[in-house]
């Protein structure tokens, strides 16, 4: 029986937040953001979770998250390490920077056996977004059709500084391009500054942002594996190059006409702790969900 798997990218340390922000208590009983994400995923119908972490963080995850989830959903771990490369490649001795989000997903390649979704560990996506995601995965009949959950850009911003967002450019609900940008408000107007040096542009009410919530078939994992070798051929000696899920896999699959990615809009408000000051807002968001009955007081 195939699983509906949630792949949680949790290997990164939150440098701006100042610690392992994936396990920062947010809920009234010490719950983490990831606890609410997994709760929402279970409610939506996911049957397995794969945490992509650093090997050195395994014990702390098992002492905290495993204890909370034991018996509620299947749990597996994938370890992202610099030397986990395809046969014939070796990591330069001088490299210390992780290989990026595409490599994080590559690390979980042996643990996927059906439709799967990918999220960040430190983002609160909201229950409605998981339902939209699962509805697509269950109804999708095409091996190369995928989905990105699109949030109103306004619902993804921080009051304490610019944030990195992928701005979706769509046509009839189909993704044409993700423009990775630094996004923030200037004089009450939302402005995106593309990371590739293109001119800044303003955001309209119709623009949506990607916050790394995607749904895929197993075909995408095949593309992840193949394109990683392609990436290494071109960048293995660049100690700062990152194999990114959006730029190096999704965008190239779309541009090469090998995949179609739908953008399904959600009315949910994204929550996350990019800056330490963001924590108060996320705590309030959780409390509001508890007050309206979305979440129980104690998960």
Cα separation, 295 vs 108, whole angstroms: 30
Backbone torsion region of residue 60, taken as left when φ is above 0, otherwise alpha when ψ lies between -120 and 50, otherwise beta: alpha
Tokens in use for 40? 């929402």
pLDDT (tens place) for every residue of the chain, 299 residues total: 789 999 999 986 434 334 454 557 889 998 889 999 999 999 999 999 999 999 988 888 888 888 888 789 999 999 999 999 999 999 999 999 999 999 999 999 999 999 999 999 889 999 999 999 999 999 999 999 999 999 999 999 988 889 999 999 999 999 999 999 999 998 889 999 999 999 999 998 889 999 999 999 999 999 999 999 999 999 999 999 999 999 999 999 999 999 999 999 999 989 988 888 888 999 999 999 999 999 999 98
Q: Phi then psi for 22, rounded to 5 degrees?
A: -65, -25
Backbone torsion region of residue 45, taken as left when φ is above 0, otherwise alpha when ψ lies between -120 and 50, otherwise beta: left
Q: Which pLDDT score, from 0 to 100, does residue 236 have?
A: 95
Q: Which pLDDT score, from 0 to 100, does residue 23 have?
A: 58
Q: Which pLDDT score, from 0 to 100, does residue 60 have?
A: 83
Per-state percent for the chain, helix, strand, coil, to nearest 5: 35, 30, 40
125, 211 Cβ separation under 8 angstroms: yes
Which string of DSSP letters, residue by residue, matches 87-132? TT----TT--S---HHHHHHTTGGG--S-EEEEETTEE--HHHHHH
- Give 7's strand partners: 50, 118
211, 37 Cβ separation under 8 angstroms: no
Instruction: Name, in order, each residue with C-beta under 8 angstroms of 54's C-beta and a sequence gap of 6 or more.
Output: 11, 79, 80, 81
- Domain 5-150+209-291 adopts which CATH fold? Spore Coat Polysaccharide Biosynthesis Protein SpsA; Chain A (3.90.550)
What are the boundaries of each domain within the chain?
Answer: 5-150+209-291
Tokens in use for 222? 């095949």
């Amino acid at each position: 029986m195939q699983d509906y798997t949630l792949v949680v990218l949790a290997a990164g340390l939150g440098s701006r937040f100042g610690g392992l922000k994936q396990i920062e208590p947010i809920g009234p009983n010490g719950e983490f953001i990831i606890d609410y994400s997994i709760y929402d995923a279970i409610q939506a119908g996911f049957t397995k979770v794969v945490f992509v972490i650093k090997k050195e963080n395994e014990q702390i995850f098992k002492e905290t998250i495993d204890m909370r989830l034991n018996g509620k959903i299947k749990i597996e771990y994938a370890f992202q390490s610099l030397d986990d490369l395809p046969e014939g490649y070796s990591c330069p001795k001088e490299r210390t920077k992780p290989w990026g989000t595409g490599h994080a997903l590559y690390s979980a390649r042996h643990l996927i056996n059906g439709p799967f979704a990918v999220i960040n560990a430190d983002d609160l996506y909201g229950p409605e977004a998981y339902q939209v995601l699962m509805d697509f995965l269950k109804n999708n009949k095409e091996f190369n059709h995928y989905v990105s959950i699109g949030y109103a850009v306004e619902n993804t911003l921080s009051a304490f500084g610019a944030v990195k967002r992928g701005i979706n450019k769509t046509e009839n609900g189909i993704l044409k391009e993700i423009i990775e940008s630094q996004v923030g408000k200037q004089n009450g107007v939302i402005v995106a500054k593309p990371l590739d040096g293109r001119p800044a542009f303003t955001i309209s009410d119709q623009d949506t942002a990607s916050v790394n919530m995607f749904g895929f078939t197993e075909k995408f994992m095949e593309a992840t594996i193949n394109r990683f070798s392609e990436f290494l051929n071109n960048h293995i000696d660049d100690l700062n190059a990152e194999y990114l899920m959006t730029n190096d896999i999704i965008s190239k699959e779309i541009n090469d006409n090998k995949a179609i990615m739908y953008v399904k809009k959600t009315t949910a408000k994204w929550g996350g702790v990019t800056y330490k000051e963001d924590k108060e807002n996320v705590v309030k968001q959780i409390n509001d969900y508890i007050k309206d009955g979305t979440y129980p007081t104690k998960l």
